[in-house]
C-alpha cells in the first residue's frame, strides 16, 4: 500500500484529463442517445431505431465479452490486422454518426444547398454527407498512419457515443442485471484470471498493440514514406492519456507510458445515464436542457448518477495509485451510479416505475424540443 500523499498524483494533468473526458463522454453519450431516440420517433424511421435489450440479450453481453476476451488473449497476434480493419470501418461509421447533427445544424443555420448525389445501401447521400464521409475517412486514415493517441481517443469516443445511442436498456431491472453481471465479470478478469490462465487476461488484452495492416501493405509494396507509418496501433477500444501529458509523449511508446480507461467503463454507465435521462424527460413537461437541473420532483435522476460516476471513477484511480495494481473500474462505478438511483427512486416512491420502465412514447412529446 502506497502512502496517502501519493494521491496527489490525481491532480496531475493526465488523471484530470482522463476524469473530465470520461465524465463528459458518459454524459454526452446519454444525451446523444436521447436526441437520437427523439429524432427516430419524430421521423418514424424504424430502420435505424435503437436496439432495446431484453433480459437474455443483456445476460449474453458478459458471456460474449468473456469469450471475446479469451479469443484476443490467445489469438490476438493472428487476428489483430483483421480487428484493425474492422475497427477502422466502425470508426468511420461512428464518427459520421457523431458529426452529422452538427453538420445538419450548420446546413440549416446558413441555408446551404445540399442536393442528392448518389445512393448507397438503399439510402440517398447528399453532397454534404459525402464530404463528411470523406472527412471521417481521412481522420481514420490519419490514425492508421500515425497511431496518435489524440486520434485514438477521438475514434474511441465516437464509438462509445454511437454504441450508447443504438443499444438501449428498457428499465432499471434489466439495467441492474447487466451491471451486476459486468461487475462480477470485471472483478474476475482483473483480479482472478491470472490464477486460471497464468496471466492477467484483462490487462494483457488491454495493453496489447495491434499490427497495422497499412504498414504491412506498404512494406510488401515497398512504398515510399514507409518510415512515417506506425507499425503498431492502440485500438480505439479505450481512451489513453500520456502520464507525462505536458511532456509530449510520442506515439508508439510503451503501454506503461499511458493512463487508460476502457470504453466499456464509459459506455455501460452511459447506458444507465441514458435510461434515467429518458425517464427524466418523460416525467418533465419542460424541455431537456443541459443547464436544467430541476424537475417537477426535485433534482433529475441524471444529476445523481453523473456525480456518482465521477466519484466512482476517482475512487478507482485512487485505488490504483495506492495499491499500484490494475483495478476493475466497474467495481467502483456500478455501486456509485446504480446505488444513488435505486435509493433516490425508492425514497420518491418511483422505484416501481423505474423498475418496469417508462411506458409513454417519446412520440407523444412532439411539441417539446431538446435544447443543446
Residue 251 and residue 146 in contact, taking contact as beta carbons nearer than 8 Å: yes
How would DSSP label each residue in 78-124? Answer: HHHHHHHHHHHHHHHHHHHHHHHHHHHHHHHHHT----EEEEETTEE
Largest Cα–Cα distance in the chain? 68
Between CA 144 and CA 142 the distance in angstroms is: 5
Whether 366 contacts 42, CB under 8 Å: yes
Burial of 248 (0-12, 13-18, 19+ CB in 10 A): exposed
Residue from 114, 186, 280, 292 carrying the catalytic annotation: 186
Helix axes 149-166, 55-110, angle to 10 degrees: 110
Q: Is position 257 annotated as part of the catalytic site?
A: no
**Among 114, 257, 265, 356, the one annotated catalytic:** 265
The count of other CB atoms within 10 Å of the CB of residue 41 is 17
**Residue 323 carries which DSSP code?**
H
Annotation says 265 is catalytic: yes
Question: In the chain, at which residue ranges do the beta strands (DSSP E only) sit?
Answer: 51-52, 116-120, 123-126, 167-168, 210-211, 232-233, 238-242, 258-262, 294-295, 298-299
- Paired with 289 in beta bridges are 371
* Residue 92, C-alpha cell as written in the block: 468511420
CA 130 to chain CA mean position, Å: 25
51-52 vs 167-168, strand pairing mode:
parallel
Residue 175 to residue 55: CA distance in whole angstroms:
9
Residues annotated as catalytic are 186, 265
Amino acid at each position: 500500500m502506497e502512502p496517502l500523499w501519493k494521491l496527489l498524483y490525481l491532480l496531475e494533468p493526465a488523471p484530470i484529463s482522463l476524469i473530465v473526458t470520461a465524465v463528459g463522454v458518459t454524459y454526452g453519450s446519454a444525451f446523444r442517445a436521447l436526441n437520437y431516440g427523439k429524432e427516430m420517433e419524430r421521423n418514424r424511421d424504424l430502420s435505424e431505431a435503437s436496439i432495446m435489450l431484453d433480459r437474455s440479450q443483456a445476460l449474453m453481453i458478459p458471456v460474449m465479452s468473456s469469450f471475446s476476451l479469451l479469443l484476443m488473449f490467445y489469438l490476438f497476434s493472428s487476428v489483430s490486422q483483421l480487428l484493425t480493419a474492422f475497427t477502422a470501418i466502425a470508426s468511420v461509421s461512428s464518427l459520421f454518426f457523431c458529426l452529422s447533427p452538427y453538420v445538419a445544424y450548420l446546413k440549416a443555420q446558413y441555408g446551404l444547398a445540399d442536393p442528392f448525389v448518389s445512393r448507397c445501401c438503399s439510402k440517398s447521400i447528399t453532397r454534404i454527407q459525402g464530404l463528411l464521409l470523406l472527412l471521417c475517412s481521412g481522420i481514420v486514415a490519419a490514425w492508421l498512419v500515425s497511431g496518435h493517441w489524440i486520434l485514438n481517443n477521438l475514434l474511441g469516443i465516437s464509438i462509445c457515443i454511437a454504441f450508447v445511442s443504438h443499444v438501449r436498456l428498457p428499465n432499471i431491472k434489466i439495467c441492474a442485471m447487466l451491471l451486476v453481471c459486468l461487475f462480477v465479470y470485471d472483478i474476475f478478469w482483473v483480479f482472478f484470471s491470472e490464477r486460471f490462465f497464468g496471466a492477467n487476461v484483462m490487462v494483457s488484452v488491454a495493453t496489447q498493440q495491434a499490427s497495422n495492416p497499412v504498414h504491412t501493405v506498404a512494406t510488401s509494396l515497398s512504398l515510399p514514406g514507409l518510415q512515417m507509418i506506425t507499425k503498431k496501433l492502440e485500438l480505439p477500444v479505450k481512451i489513453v492519456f500520456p502520464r507525462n501529458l505536458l511532456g509530449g509523449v510520442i506515439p508508439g511508446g510503451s503501454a506503461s507510458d499511458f493512463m487508460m480507461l476502457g470504453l466499456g467503463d464509459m459506455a455501460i454507465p452511459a447506458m444507465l445515464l441514458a435510461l434515467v435521462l429518458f425517464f427524466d424527460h418523460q416525467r418533465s413537461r419542460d424541455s431537456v436542457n443541459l443547464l436544467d437541473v430541476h424537475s417537477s420532483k426535485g433534482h433529475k435522476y441524471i444529476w445523481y448518477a453523473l456525480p456518482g460516476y465521477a466519484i466512482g471513477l476517482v475512487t478507482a484511480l485512487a485505488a490504483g495509485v495506492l495499491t499500484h495494481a490494475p483495478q476493475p473500474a466497474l467495481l467502483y462505478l456500478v455501486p456509485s451510479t446504480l446505488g444513488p438511483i435505486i435509493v433516490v427512486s425508492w425514497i420518491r416512491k418511483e422505484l416501481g416505475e423505474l423498475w418496469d420502465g417508462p411506458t409513454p412514447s417519446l412520440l407523444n412529446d412532439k411539441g417539446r424540443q431538446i435544447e443543446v
